[in-house]
């Protein structure tokens, strides 16, 4: 006899290859009269049972060690370990088991009923309403327990219709049904794995994706058969020959499961036909590492400084033996703050394939380490030969350790797990004033932002968090704290100087800098908090914002860029003008953010011909050529954004297959400007100004930078002081098309 076993995770798919024929004599011999009962007894658990005619299967109570409880079960009775293939789930106990002395009785009106020695009911076979009385029970040589109707002799209830963790030959799963693994070998509660045939006919191998099994079940799939429309699956069949397939709706087409399960998926079961062939190794719990043993079975191991949540469950979750880092607010009312200091512990040849929330390319190991240590969400990073840094949240899903000598690039990686190094007391100091901005300690900004908990947005230079600082008089003011992630660590003096220069710049259309911090590896800049979000959020919504507001915002942005280019002591080229970097204040006036950061990021360069800055769709052509970078790159970006302001459409809209600069010029050339604004009635009534703004935008995006106006000319044209001539084709003779500019490089 051979069978499919998944005892490692308690999901069994049992294959009995010998022919099991059911004859009329066997049915008579295997029947159980109404009124018969069995009692749970450790001394009589195998002798006190109802057996199938051939004796292959038995029905009765089984003692589950090391618990002091029993489960009503069907098991293979002729093999030494007497493998359980079905069990009744007791509903009034924590383990799903019942005490010794419990009884199962075959009743005419309720079928099988389990009661404990005090008479409390723990389980009942659910009969269809109005189905009539039970005449007898029957345990068949296929391992199916049947309850037969007294009137018609038809089945009122079948154990095959209520599978638990096992499929037997000739058994099938209908749409909406599933198998669930046991929680542990000695606990018959539902575990984390499920095999489910959905309402759409798709068979899925699922794993529970919740922090504890007490939570609402949330599953994600390791494997999907893809048996959906137009010919969906209707039934999962495990036939007598051991072949498993999904029967499709035409009742003729079959989708074979065994040969179609990819070997690379983490399928949580084992196929056994004498020697065991592993399909996957996800038997382990959260924060645990799965290792394939010499016997090709998965073994689970907690990382150093972690231990099993339940010491009796070697396949369960691992918990940290220390206080995990959190992103909650700190108590800053005392003179000293207890600060947990974390370090990264290396675990070789190990990967956590799920739970990524951030990925960084072309990072060295030190930069990858710092990215995790400075991020309160990060529980671990995975780093490999491809120089990709994967940040993982807590809890870690499950780890997979490659065998020794495995040099597969996908698995020749290691994990750095964040663990507690120690606790130090840090004095809470107030920030010190400077004429050009405040200097903060890193700890003060941790307190101000609640450990960087409230994220406002992300950009090319870093992540922005909301915080609160106390000013003179004790009042709190809101601030935005940007954590920079690409500033060279060794340039501390240059960083201070440049930030102080930015701190001296004041204009009503620029976001005001409040201060900065440059302790250790951290580089942070503190800005005033701007309440109404980004221009992108404002512009690309429906219904469109008013035409008057859009015109006012376009002029305000132009004035802010003009100030950076011409009115500052030292010219500042922004290099990343886009709607996401334009904020709207309480009166919806535009405020340019991130100005000066491009210079900080390029301060090591001797010239400005390399290292493309900016965002795809807004990048000037000279970035891709051996051409000097001047303030005209900001003019180009502004032109793209001006067209977005007119049309309320994104520069690159993949959903609508629109490249805005091409479309805008085509509409201008063909005198179809109304297509750009569609049903915007307010703009339609001001077509003269719409045309003016479109022409200005096209002048700004000229491929030849010398043809672009400067920001002073642009401001005058927007305000009507200067006439606007018809612009030429912005890309008349480019080697690269305008479309190609939008797709060049990782900008």
Residue 478, CB-side half-sphere exposure with 13 Å CA sphere: 9
Q: What is the chain's length?
A: 747
The answer to whether 18 and 29 have CB atoms below 8 angstroms apart is: no
Whose tokens are 């004859």? That residue is 23
The C-alpha atoms of residue 281 and residue 60 are separated, in whole angstroms, by 33
The C-alpha atoms of residue 140 and residue 211 are separated, in whole angstroms, by 41
The C-alpha atoms of residue 564 and residue 574 are separated, in whole angstroms, by 8
The C-alpha atoms of residue 381 and residue 355 are separated, in whole angstroms, by 11
The answer to whether 86 and 159 have CB atoms below 8 angstroms apart is: yes
The answer to whether 351 and 461 have CB atoms below 8 angstroms apart is: no
The C-alpha atoms of residue 583 and residue 588 are separated, in whole angstroms, by 8
Residue of 618, 567, 614, 571 lying closest to 594 (CA atoms): 614
Torsion region of 176: left, alpha or beta (phi above 0 gives left; psi -120 to 50 gives alpha): left
Active-site annotation holder among 116, 576, 594, 680 = 576
Instruction: Compute the C-alpha angle 514/519/523, nearest 5°.
Output: 55
Residue of 100, 106, 26, 39 lying closest to 67 (CA atoms): 100
Give the Cβ contact number of residue 184 at 10 Å.
Answer: 18
The C-alpha atoms of residue 164 and residue 84 are separated, in whole angstroms, by 10
Annotated binding site for ATP: 483
Whose tokens are 């951030």? That residue is 358
The answer to whether 289 and 280 have CB atoms below 8 angstroms apart is: no
Residue of 319, 312, 354 lying closest to 219 (CA atoms): 354
DSSP string, 268-317: S-EEEESEEEES----S-TT-EEEE-TTS-EEEEPPTTEEESSTT-TTS-
Max CA distance (Å), the chain: 105
The C-alpha atoms of residue 554 and residue 556 are separated, in whole angstroms, by 6
Residue 533, CB-side half-sphere exposure with 13 Å CA sphere: 9
The answer to whether 44 and 54 have CB atoms below 8 angstroms apart is: no
Annotated binding site: 483
**Residue 110 CA: distances (Å) to CA of 90, 130, 475, 673, 719:** 16, 11, 71, 76, 86
Residue 359: which residues within 8 A CB-CB, separation 6 or more?
388, 389, 390, 391
The C-alpha atoms of residue 654 and residue 78 are separated, in whole angstroms, by 64
Residue 635: which residues within 8 A CB-CB, separation 6 or more?
620, 700, 705, 708, 709, 710, 711, 714
DSSP string, 542-610: SSPPPHHHHHHHHHHHHHHHHIIIIISSS----S--SGGGEEE-TT--EEE-STTHHHHHTTT-SSSSS
- Does the annotation count 294 as an active-site position? no
Torsion region of 74: left, alpha or beta (phi above 0 gives left; psi -120 to 50 gives alpha): beta
Catalytic residues: 576
């Amino acid at each position: 006899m051979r069978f499919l076993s998944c005892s490692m995770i308690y999901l069994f798919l049992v294959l009995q290859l010998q022919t099991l024929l059911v004859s009329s004599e066997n049915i008579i011999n295997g029947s159980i009269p109404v009124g018969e009962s069995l009692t749970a007894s450790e001394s009589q658990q195998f002798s006190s049972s109802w057996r199938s005619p051939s004796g292959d299967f038995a029905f009765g109570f089984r003692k589950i060690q090391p618990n002091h409880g029993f489960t009503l079960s069907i098991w293979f009775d002729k093999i030494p370990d007497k493998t359980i293939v079905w069990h009744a789930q007791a509903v009034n106990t924590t383990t799903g088991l019942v005490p010794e002395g419990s009884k199962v009785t075959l009743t005419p009106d309720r079928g099988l009923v389990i009661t404990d020695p005090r008479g409390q009911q723990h389980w009942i076979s659910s009969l269809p309403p109005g189905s009539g009385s039970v005449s007898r029970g029957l345990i068949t040589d296929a391992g199916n327990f049947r309850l037969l109707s007294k009137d018609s002799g038809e089945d009122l209830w079948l154990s095959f219709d209520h599978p638990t963790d096992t499929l037997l030959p000739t058994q099938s799963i209908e749409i909406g049904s599933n198998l669930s693994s046991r929680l542990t070998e000695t606990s018959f509660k539902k575990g984390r794995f499920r095999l489910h045939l959905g309402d759409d006919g798709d068979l899925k191998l699922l794993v529970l994706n919740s922090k504890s099994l007490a939570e609402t079940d949330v599953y994600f799939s390791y494997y999907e058969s893809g048996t959906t429309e137009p010919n969906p699956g209707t039934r999962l069949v495990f036939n007598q020959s051991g072949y498993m397939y999904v029967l499709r709706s035409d009742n003729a087409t079959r989708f074979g499961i065994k040969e179609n399960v990819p070997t690379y998926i983490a399928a949580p079961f084992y196929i056994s036909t004498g020697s065991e062939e592993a399909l996957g190794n996800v038997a382990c719990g959260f924060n645990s590492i799965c290792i394939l043993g010499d016997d090709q079975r998965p073994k689970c191991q907690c990382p150093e400084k972690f231990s099993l949540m339940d010491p009796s469950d070697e396949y369960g979750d691992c918990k940290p033996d220390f206080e995990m880092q959190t992103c909650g607010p700190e108590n800053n009312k005392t003179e000293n703050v207890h600060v947990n200091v974390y370090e990264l512990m290396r675990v070789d040849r190990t990967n956590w394939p799920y739970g990524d929330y951030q990925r960084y390319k072309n990072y060295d190991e030190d930069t990858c380490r710092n990215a995790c240590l400075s991020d309160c969400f990060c529980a671990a990073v995975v780093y490999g030969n491809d120089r990709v840094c994967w940040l993982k949240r807590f809890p870690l899903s499950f780890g997979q350790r490659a065998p020794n000598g495995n040099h597969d690039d996908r698995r020749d990686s290691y994990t750095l797990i964040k663990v507690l190094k120690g606790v130090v007391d840090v004095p809470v100091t107030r920030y010190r004033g400077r004429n050009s901005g405040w200097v903060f300690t890193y700890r003060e900004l941790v307190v101000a932002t609640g450990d960087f908990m409230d994220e406002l947005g992300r950009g090319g230079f870093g992540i922005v968090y909301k915080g609160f600082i106390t000013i003179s008089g004790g009042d709190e003011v809101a601030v935005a704290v940007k954590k920079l992630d690409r500033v060279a660590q060794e340039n501390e003096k240059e960083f201070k100087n440049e930030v102080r220069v930015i701190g001296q710049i004041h204009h009503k259309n620029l976001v005001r800098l409040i201060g900065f911090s440059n302790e250790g590896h951290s580089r942070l800049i503190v800005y005033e908090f701007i309440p109404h979000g980004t221009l992108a959020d404002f512009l690309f919504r429906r219904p469109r914002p008013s035409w008057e507001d859009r015109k006012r915002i376009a002029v305000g942005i132009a004035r802010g860029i003009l100030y950076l280019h011409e009115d500052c002591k030292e010219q500042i080229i922004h290099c990343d003008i886009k709607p996401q970097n334009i904020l709207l204040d309480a009166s919806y006036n535009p405020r340019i953010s991130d100005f000066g950061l491009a210079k900080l990021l390029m301060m090591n360069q001797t010239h400005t011909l390399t290292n493309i800055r900016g965002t795809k769709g807004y990048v000037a052509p000279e970035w891709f050529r051996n051409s000097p970078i001047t303030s005209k790159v900001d003019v180009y970006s502004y032109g793209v954004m001006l067209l977005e302001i007119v049309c309320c459409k994104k520069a690159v809209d993949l959903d609508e297959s629109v490249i805005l600069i091409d479309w805008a010029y085509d509409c201008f050339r063909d005198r179809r400007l109304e297509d750009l604004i569609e049903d915007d009635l307010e703009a339609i009534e001001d077509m003269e100004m719409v045309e003016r703004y479109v022409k200005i935008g096209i002048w700004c995006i000229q491929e030849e930078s010398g043809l672009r106006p400067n920001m002073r000319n642009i401001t005058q044209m927007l305000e009507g002081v200067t006439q606007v001539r018809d612009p030429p084709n912005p890309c008349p003779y480019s080697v690269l098309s305008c479309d190609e500019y939008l797709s060049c490089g990782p900008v």
